[in-house]
Amino acid sequence: MTATVTTDPSRPEGSAGSPPAASTVLAALETVRDPELDEPITSLGFVTSCTVSAGGDTTVRLRLPTYFCAPNFAFLMVADAYDVISTLPGVRRAEVVLEDHFASDAINGGVAAQSGFVQSFDGEAVSELGGLRADFLRKAVMAGTDQVCRPLLAGGADPASLLTLTLGDVPPSRPLRRLRERRAELGLPAGDDAPLVIDPVTGVRVSEQAVPLHLRRARVTRISIEANGGICRGMLRHRYEASGLGEEEQQ
């Protein structure tokens, strides 16, 4: 399989309502994440091609590390990619195709028909995937808490002292921005005056007594996600030789 970005050369450029460049579509896909790994599907290497026709018909092809990757997360990625693309200016019709997966037909058909997870997996699911997504956002908040707090601890901060800090007290960094975004997505406090260390379910500041254990859970959650990312990348590379569009090495 070859990774391609294709824009139909005959398409009109520049005018309002004209189709987006394939690179624009790809940039939009960077906002779609694997919910388990909390990483863009582009940097994970899951996007193999992205084509835009003169009329604005846009097709994106996705792949995953194994034939049996969990169908609920696969559905979320395909559905999120569809939602992102179909709202781009100039896109007349969006199509997202997950390839080489045991549930490709159910997922691709279900997303194309906008029928939701329960209907796409008739009789095999009882609710949509909002709860699952929230559970994994909370894991991302825990992992992000470790990413932000570990450098502070390494710099000599006492664990209990972290409780006095707000998000605004922490120097700006990419992990901090990411933590704020995940907290905001969950409806948790994410402003400058919000406490740094909170319970990811209630949003309440963690108690002094609970903070050592909380930070240890944050660390193991981060390590778990990162180790899984390593395994997924290794499996993907065994399955497909070619890199995906926007694929990056693990940081």
- Point out which residues bind other proteins (CB under 8 A): 36, 65-72, 102, 117-118, 121, 124-129, 131-132, 135, 139, 142, 210, 212-213, 216-217, 219-221, 223-224, 226-228, 230-231, 234-235, 237-239
Minimum distance, C-beta of residue 174 to other proteins, in the bound complex (Å):
20
Q: Which is nearer to other proteins, 74 or 188 (CB)?
A: 74
The pair of three-digit structure tokens given for residue 239, joined into one six-digit string: 């399955």
Minimum distance, C-beta of residue 96 to other proteins, in the bound complex (Å):
19
Q: Which is nearer to other proteins, 8 or 128 (CB)?
A: 128
Phi, psi at residue 244, to the nearest 5°? -85, 170
3-state SS string over 178-212?
HHHHHHHHCCCCCCCCCECCECCCCCCECCCCCHH
Phi, psi at residue 176, to the nearest 5°? -65, -45
Minimum distance, C-beta of residue 122 to other proteins, in the bound complex (Å):
11
Q: Which is nearer to other proteins, 24 or 145 (CB)?
A: 145
Minimum distance, C-beta of residue 185 to other proteins, in the bound complex (Å):
18
Q: Which residues of 211-243 are buried (b: 16+ CB within 10 A; e: fewer)?
A: beebbeebbebbeebbeebeebbeebeeebeee
Q: Which is nearer to other proteins, 121 or 175 (CB)?
A: 121
d(CA 235, CA 71): 17
